[in-house]
Structure 1
Amino acid sequence: MTRVELMAPAGSPEALKAAVNNGADAVYLGGKQFNAREGAANFSRDELRDAVAYAHECDVRVYVTVNTLLSDWELAEAVDYLYFLGENRVDGIIVQDLGLANLSRNIMPELPLIGSTQMTVTNAAGAEYLARLGFKRVVLGRELSLRDIKAISSKVGIELEVFVHGALCFSYSGQCLFSSMVGGRSGNRGRCAQPCRLAYTLVDEKGRALEEKPEHLLSTRDLYTLDRIPELIAAGVKAFKIEGRMRRPEYVAVVTRAYRRVIDRFYNNPEDFQVFTEEEREVAQIFNRDFTPGYLDGNPGAELMSYGRPSNRGLYLGRVERRQNDGFQVHLEAPLSRGDGLEVWVSKGGHQGLVVHHIRQGEREVDSAPAGATVTLKLPPATRPGDRIFKTSDALLLQEVRRTFTTIPEERRLPLTMKVYAREGEPLKLEIIDPGGNRAEAQTSRAAEAAERHPLNEAVLAEHLGRLGNTPYRLGHLIVELEGRLMVPLSELNRIRREAIEKLRQMRLEAWPRRVPPEEEFRKRLLELRQPPQAADGERTGRRRQEPPRLAVAVGDPEGARAALAAGAERVYLAGEIWRGHGVPGGNLLRDLIEEAKIKGATLVPALPRIWHETEVAGVGRRLEELVDAGADLILVGNFGGIELLRKYGLAGWGDYPLNAFNGWSLQALAEAGLKGVTLSPEVNREQLRRLVSPLPLELIVHGALPLMISAHCVLGARLGGQRPGRKCTAPCLKGRYGLKDRLGLVFPIATDDKCRFYLYNVKEINLLKHLEDISSLGFHWVRVEATEKPAGYIRRVTSLYRTALDLVARGEGREALAELSLEAEKMAPGGITRGHYFRGVL
């Protein structure tokens, strides 16, 4: 049986040792750049070499995250970095950027690629797309149920990896623009500021608060699946991933150890599988925001969320019972020791922390007390009877696990067989054999002599040859073949032990393959690919240079489509989602819209859903056939599964901005996939746009409020609709419009679709109308107004403003007129306007 791989996070060298020494089969880590956890300590190149050697000597694989979006001028350095990683024998690269993957495939096809969860793969077609690109494995979206995972596994050959423990993103990973658009720190570039962990107030369309106080409405609990290991293995998962590169080494040690023990217990005795209470307690103690199985059983509603606080809550210790002299009496629900950290949830004053220095049990001062004991503790002055106490750190647990990243536990060391051969007048020979069959030899520099007093024996040899220090080895079996009573200097025994161990170490490290071609061949391939991707229409950039861009408008319903067409849109994108409260635009209606567009010299381009799970694939297939029957000859696609479906159906597609096209090589990959054009990522700035080389026609979003988040969790259903597992939502989304108000008073609009997915829109609207002359000089084929959530009246007015503006640009008429039109558009944005990332870009 091929066992599932347990992969642990390593945000620092100490965390790496914690993972390796507590049973990880693999670790994942990042360098000092190009990784989605820029806030972790991460690894320099020298540290990375040492990390790979440390892990490989212990038979642990190393995967390196190079999983941010990359600008064109970063790609050369990133490819060089990939070569360094492959040369140093890393076992795979976790990537998000399609351009980097495209380059790697062309230059270093030997280097295994793993599709990051940032690629938002939620269906089998998306996994198949990556498999065709040469990916070895894909990390599935964390929103999938066991049923989804099993359905994907049954259809694809690519390895599937899933997160099993740790922090959850509220939004589908790779689809969150919240930190980016609001604060300029892009999650897709590794610098997420985590606005999801802040407090918000749910309000109605008039801004009235629907709840008493702000809460952490976007802050999820932590994923926990210790008890779900058998089901995940049965679903076809090949790798279990623990989240936590920002966590301290103690966290990595405790969680890795727990999952190692539970996985091994399942394989050793699947019929009697269980998780021990101590394992559950230790994992909860080291860090938790409350636990959730995530979406494994379907949508958990409110039980996904940690509304009260976004940080560690520890273990419940008990309630304050009464004052006792200078302390408070507490009946313990968990063990307590000196040095433990506590937090008292006082009635007035929030959560107050302390370290336990004194524990009194009866009349005695004690070092520790078990669960069930009643003790007296010194607590903050604001403490009152009835207040709850949580243990946020366990001194004994921390002391125990810290040993594991300074000293390798005996049970984790590899047993070696050592053979000793000696006869008088010849050097003593030592042979060491590891469990994989590697053999290393060494011999003394002088011959063995006849012993007068203290001959060598098995006990002496075992003592000196077994001194393996803090290496990953232990003496497992000793075979001694001595002819007569012999002696050699003990210093020689120690020397040949060290020599043989070093030879074995080098042999074991050399056994891990280099994943790249020779450097000369690498440089040759790189030189051949230095030229930019071939441009569309024979032009260097693939973009129109002689005329202004054409106008596209994205809408959410047929009424919006008609409004856009009437106001002069030359292309209208009709959303693939069915918004709550709107009907499904069926075949006849679609056919009529397509014909209306043609009559006006325009094109209606229907979209596939931005997100779908494998359990929804039949409906997506039917929808695609309906679009074709209605006469659609171009389809908008926003995920890799959509690209793969269009390829299978032989249909033309236009890539939407959720594909995160960020550089010329990603555009080349999408061109090779058969797309006819691409809407660029809204995180690309002007300088990138100016230098971008494309084999495809391009489109730039110039107006509208973008969805900052798309989530499988609906805040409205959870807070207003009573949504719980097994309890149907009362659909408050059909009764009005809502928003989330932040601490600054800004209200972010909410929308939902018929799959109960939740969309949080930016309060500010992008408005680049007065910069259309500048944008036109960049040579785009299309500019786009994003109005998916807007009513028909708004769409008609804004489309008309941009139609007029583009006509002015075509006639070469003045900036003053554009500025006036821009002011008109601003009046329609009550939350204010933004230039997006056109000028500032993202960090």
Structure 2
Amino acid sequence: MKRIARDTIELLAPAGNWDCLRAAVANGADAVFFGVDKYNARVRAENFRVEELPDIMAYLHKYNVRGYVTFNILIFENELEEARQLVEACIDAGVDALIVQDAGLLQMIREISPDFPIHISTQMTVTSPEAVEFLQPYDVEVVVLGRENNLKQIKTIADHTETPLEVFVHGALCVSYSGQCLTSEMWGGRSANRGECAQACRLPYDLIVDGKKKEMANISYLLSPKDLAALDLVGELIEAGVSSFKIEGRLKSPEYVANVVSKYRKAIDEYLAGRDYIPSKEEIRELQQSFSRGFTHGFLKGTNNKQLLDGTFPKSRGVYLGTVLKVLKDGVLCQLEAPVKRGDGIVFDAGRPEEKEEGGRVYDLRKKGVKVEGEVQGGFIEIVPGRRDVDLTKVRVGDRIWKTSDPELERRLRLTFETEQAYRLFPIAVAVSGKMGEPLVSTWYDLATGHSVTVQSRDLLEAAVKRPLTLEYLTEQLGRLGGTIFELAEVRSELDGNVILPVKELNRMRRIAVDQLLALRQAPPRYQKHQVEVKAAKKERQDQRQAPAQLIALCRSMDQIHAACETDADYIYADFEFTTDYPYAVQVAREYGKPIALATPRIHMPGENGILKGILQSEPDAVLVRSLGALQYYTQQELPRLLVGDFSLNIANHKAVELFLARGLDRVTPSYDLNIQQMMDLLEVSPTEKVEIVIHQHLPMFHTEHCVFCTFLSEGTDFTNCGRPCESHRVSLQDRIGMLHPVRVDIGCRNTVYNAIEQSGAEYLSDFLKAGIRSFRVEFLEEDGEQVREVLRLYREVLQGQRSGTSVWKTLKATNQLGVTRGQLLKK
């Protein structure tokens, strides 16, 4: 095993409030991340106020802990000025880095400060060496990889970059790729890209296979993953090249933070010390107790669809105790699989988590009717819950029993941080010199930070009569550092002769030195800061009334390709489940004389450049680029082909438009997170001739590595052994109100769940035309050829001024079985 320096590995903890902050520091975090006000990916968390930033950073730096502010959401055009102010406040307060999703914000920060540290959020969907390389011009300090990257892929990325890599190791898993989930946006106008995730993945769904409901007993939570726990993979992650271990949980309690941080601190330290570390059963149970939907390695050990989720519940359960073997008059009999004691909280799981469940505190424990004191480790035990808590008539044999809380553990965890004290001590060294008749000169070195201060005595050194300043005496007096964060590691003396100084003067010098060293720790680091104007001037529009509007048809089947080619559509886009079929699409388009673009997958992983190369070998006229990795790959090729950036690049402001156009895209598609006002704000200051807008589609909601086909229609675990049921079955997820959301697979075996109802922006076409937009895209999913021709005809008539957008919307609404929604453009 290669030895790795302790200070090159970072343990990064969440902090939603001051107690969480203290818990993280007290239990060994090297850094914490937290949100400020509304601009972060956890708006439901408590969050800090911008006015608190100086105090937060001073507190963290006192303990040599770094503080990162999460700015990991998309920024709309009318928010850029406010965003600039927050960036400058972070710079002034000495924040150690901003965690960023928005490409426009990335560019703006670099314009404001060329040296302020930037961390790339997992929300930017960075999953390949090429994506990391794309970010190099912005001198980012850390890249947070997608949760879907496995150990082998992480190592591949690490081997191709000097940029430190950060990986999530514990906490809730998103079933969708971060930055690529539009479900909350579609169903509630609460965008996950704006920190407002409504957790639609935690809802129950029915699986509809080839039009029929598949019976799956009590498995209803088809998209709700277990929680990530990689405590036993710490060594492998370090060896793979991970520099920062990130714990999820800014909505969690300080006890959770204390618990998880302390466990990972131990695991990292043990590994770095060269000792094998295997977490104990007790340590795993304590982690489960703080919060757990069941633990999984996620994708770190590779894709295993069978292990990713349980499917029977969507919420934290805690520790599994056993099942009900018999219902007694005042309790239940079970065979314990984990310890339990009086006062612990329990719940009876009848397999219907959406309903009220019976649960409460353990009142008594008995063995064969005899009361048992203390904690019981196992065996056949009678659990007696509080009478007011549990209605035993509703408990059934076979119900699972979970320990939902452990007050004793919570008290122990609180003790680690609730009393203000020196959570950790830092070594200092002192060098003293001087001779009789001169001041005593002391230089104090903070060995953890490298800071040093020099303090001289006000009194002069005198000849010693009784107690000279021996090394032992100096060590005793200068080492009286109780109540501070320091401990004396070493004293070096170069005193000339037997001299003495009053004790009170030594005490004064020590206090001054400690105060000065502390002030140096807490002083904010200085970064360059330039004045930047972020508000863009409105673009002067040339008279484009004579410029014809381009109608683009995105097709997902050969039948749709043929139908679209038979219309007057100006451009054809092919977006097939299997890119191996792309040559046929190109051939058909050539026969009709239509230019055609081929879409890349939304995700680009290490080893998948062959897919991108195959797209080029099909010789399309253009490529619809959907990831940073694909963009980097194609721009390195210096292609003559047109490159169009898709919605998945999350372009939400003019600075993002500028960045992507400067990096090789010929046209960009704004994010689906924009409503009509936000879209118009963007178009007002952007080169609209280079902007393409999707005006009709089934919104792609979830985009996930988790394969529904493999999990529920196969005995296999991944694409190597699943038998490819996706090639022979059509699958939809039926929600609680009966809507059927189609599930489709791409060449990387990733699933996309599409919204059941089409959405149309027909009513806003006139606004877009006036703004100068000339590229409009209509996307098809399951439509047959006749529907393709009809929909394209309706939109062409609007573009030609032959009918109104409202009439198109009403026509579509009347002819579609489920109607048509106005979608995200209408949201407030």
Same fold (TM over 0.5): yes
Give the aligned partner of residue 288 of structure 1. Answer: 292
Q: Which among 351, 354, 360 is matched to residue 360 of structure 2?
A: 354
Give the aligned partner of residue 397 of structure 1. Answer: 409
Q: Which among 785, 801, 805 is matched to residue 792 of structure 1?
A: 785
Asked if 1:783 corresponds to 2:789, the answer is: no
Distance in structure 1 (CA, Å) of the matches to 2:691 and 2:158: 35
When residues 550 and 472 of structure 1 are mapped into structure 2, their CA distance, relative to the original with a 3 A threshold, is same
Shift of 1:758: 1.0
Asked if 1:764 corresponds to 2:757, the answer is: yes
Asked if 1:154 corresponds to 2:133, the answer is: no
Give the aligned partner of residue 340 of structure 2. Answer: 336
TM (normalized to structure 1)? 0.88
Distance in structure 2 (CA, Å) of the matches to 1:789 and 1:412: 61
Shift of 1:513: 3.2
Secondary structure of 2:826's partner? coil
1:13-45 residue CA offsets vs partner (Å, 9 max, x unmatched): 221221222122221111112111111111112
Shift of 1:290: 0.8
When residues 674 and 720 of structure 1 are mapped into structure 2, their CA distance, relative to the original with a 3 A threshold, is same
Distance in structure 2 (CA, Å) of the matches to 1:542 and 1:175: 35
Secondary structure of 2:221's partner? coil
Matches within 5 A, 1:300-379: 300-320=304-324, 326-345=330-349, 351-359=357-365, 366-371=373-378, 374=381, 376-378=383-385
When residues 453 and 681 of structure 1 are mapped into structure 2, their CA distance, relative to the original with a 3 A threshold, is same
Give the aligned partner of residue 660 of structure 1. Answer: 650
Q: Name which of structure 1's ranges 18-27 and 769-778 shifts more when overlaid on structure 2.
A: 769-778
Q: Which among 596, 605, 609 is matched to residue 604 of structure 1?
A: 596
Q: Which among 567, 581, 584 is matched to residue 584 of structure 1?
A: 581
Matches within 5 A, 1:552-571: 552-571=552-571
Distance in structure 2 (CA, Å) of the matches to 1:507 and 1:660: 41
Distance in structure 2 (CA, Å) of the matches to 1:320 and 1:166: 29
Shift of 1:373: 8.3
Q: Which among 674, 689, 703 is matched to residue 679 of structure 2?
A: 689
Asked if 1:710 corresponds to 2:703, the answer is: yes
1:638-660 residue CA offsets vs partner (Å, 9 max, x unmatched): 11112111211112311111111
Give the aligned partner of residue 528 of structure 2. Answer: 516
1:560-588 residue CA offsets vs partner (Å, 9 max, x unmatched): 22211212211111116428xxx6233xx
Asked if 1:246 corresponds to 2:236, the answer is: no
Gaps of 5+ in 2: none
Shift of 1:446: 6.4
Contact 1:416–1:477 (CA<8 Å) still a contact in 2? yes
Secondary structure of 1:702's partner? strand
Asked if 1:69 corresponds to 2:74, the answer is: yes
Q: Name which of structure 1's ranges 782-791 and 739-748 shifts more when overlaid on structure 2.
A: 782-791
When residues 357 and 92 of structure 1 are mapped into structure 2, their CA distance, relative to the original with a 3 A threshold, is same
Distance in structure 2 (CA, Å) of the matches to 1:814 and 1:508: 68
Contact 2:809–2:820 (CA<8 Å) still a contact in 1? no
Q: Which among 811, 822, 825 is matched to residue 835 of structure 1?
A: 822
Q: Which among 611, 621, 638 is matched to residue 650 of structure 1?
A: 638
Gaps of 5+ in 1: none
Give the aligned partner of residue 593 of structure 1. Answer: 588
1:255-289 residue CA offsets vs partner (Å, 9 max, x unmatched): 1111111111112115x343333332322222111
Contact 2:365–2:381 (CA<8 Å) still a contact in 1? no
Secondary structure of 1:553's partner? strand
Distance in structure 1 (CA, Å) of the matches to 2:600 and 2:32: 36
Contact 1:151–1:615 (CA<8 Å) still a contact in 2? no
Q: Name which of structure 1's ranges 684-693 and 174-183 shifts more when overlaid on structure 2.
A: 684-693
Contact 1:423–1:486 (CA<8 Å) still a contact in 2? no
Q: Which among 391, 399, 402 is matched to residue 381 of structure 1?
A: 391
Structure 2 counterpart of 1:647, one-letter code: T
Shift of 1:767: 1.7
Structure 1 counterpart of 2:514, one-letter code: I
Structure 2 counterpart of 1:610, one-letter code: R
TM (normalized to structure 2)? 0.89
When residues 680 and 438 of structure 1 are mapped into structure 2, their CA distance, relative to the original with a 3 A threshold, is closer
Shift of 1:234: 2.0
When residues 621 and 359 of structure 1 are mapped into structure 2, their CA distance, relative to the original with a 3 A threshold, is same
Asked if 1:671 corresponds to 2:661, the answer is: yes
Contact 1:124–1:155 (CA<8 Å) still a contact in 2? yes
Asked if 1:130 corresponds to 2:122, the answer is: no
Contact 1:710–1:759 (CA<8 Å) still a contact in 2? yes
Q: Which among 497, 501, 517 is matched to residue 514 of structure 2?
A: 501
Structure 2 counterpart of 1:637, one-letter code: V
Secondary structure of 1:682's partner? coil
Distance in structure 1 (CA, Å) of the matches to 2:588 and 2:263: 58
Give the aligned partner of residue 615 of structure 2. Answer: 623
Identity %: 36
Q: Name which of structure 1's ranges 37-46 and 545-554 shifts more when overlaid on structure 2.
A: 545-554
Contact 1:576–1:609 (CA<8 Å) still a contact in 2? no
Secondary structure of 1:20's partner? helix
Shift of 1:472: 3.1
Distance in structure 1 (CA, Å) of the matches to 2:752 and 2:596: 24
When residues 489 and 435 of structure 1 are mapped into structure 2, their CA distance, relative to the original with a 3 A threshold, is closer
When residues 786 and 346 of structure 1 are mapped into structure 2, their CA distance, relative to the original with a 3 A threshold, is closer
Give the aligned partner of residue 813 of structure 2. Answer: 826
Shift of 1:594: 4.2
Asked if 1:720 corresponds to 2:713, the answer is: yes
Q: Name which of structure 1's ranges 563-572 and 329-338 shifts more when overlaid on structure 2.
A: 329-338
Q: Name which of structure 1's ranges 275-284 and 6-15 shifts more when overlaid on structure 2.
A: 275-284
Structure 2 counterpart of 1:747, one-letter code: L
When residues 87 and 741 of structure 1 are mapped into structure 2, their CA distance, relative to the original with a 3 A threshold, is same
Shift of 1:426: 8.0
Give the aligned partner of residue 473 of structure 1. Answer: 486
Contact 2:574–2:596 (CA<8 Å) still a contact in 1? yes
Give the aligned partner of residue 550 of structure 1. Answer: 550
Contact 2:710–2:718 (CA<8 Å) still a contact in 1? no
When residues 353 and 649 of structure 1 are mapped into structure 2, their CA distance, relative to the original with a 3 A threshold, is same
Secondary structure of 2:235's partner? helix
Distance in structure 2 (CA, Å) of the matches to 1:591 and 1:761: 25
Matches within 5 A, 1:446-465: 462=476
Secondary structure of 2:582's partner? coil
Contact 2:78–2:681 (CA<8 Å) still a contact in 1? no
Structure 2 counterpart of 1:356, one-letter code: V
Shift of 1:128: 0.8
Structure 2 counterpart of 1:77, one-letter code: E
Q: Which among 427, 430, 439 is matched to residue 415 of structure 1?
A: 427
When residues 347 and 10 of structure 1 are mapped into structure 2, their CA distance, relative to the original with a 3 A threshold, is closer
Secondary structure of 2:11's partner? strand
Shift of 1:478: 6.0
Shift of 1:662: 0.7
Distance in structure 2 (CA, Å) of the matches to 1:158 and 1:423: 51
Give the aligned partner of residue 738 of structure 1. Answer: 731
Shift of 1:792: 2.9
Distance in structure 2 (CA, Å) of the matches to 1:150 and 1:38: 33
When residues 684 and 763 of structure 1 are mapped into structure 2, their CA distance, relative to the original with a 3 A threshold, is same
Distance in structure 1 (CA, Å) of the matches to 2:814 and 2:437: 100
Q: Name which of structure 1's ranges 439-448 and 351-360 shifts more when overlaid on structure 2.
A: 439-448
Structure 2 counterpart of 1:99, one-letter code: G
Secondary structure of 1:63's partner? strand
Give the aligned partner of residue 747 of structure 1. Answer: 740
Secondary structure of 1:416's partner? strand
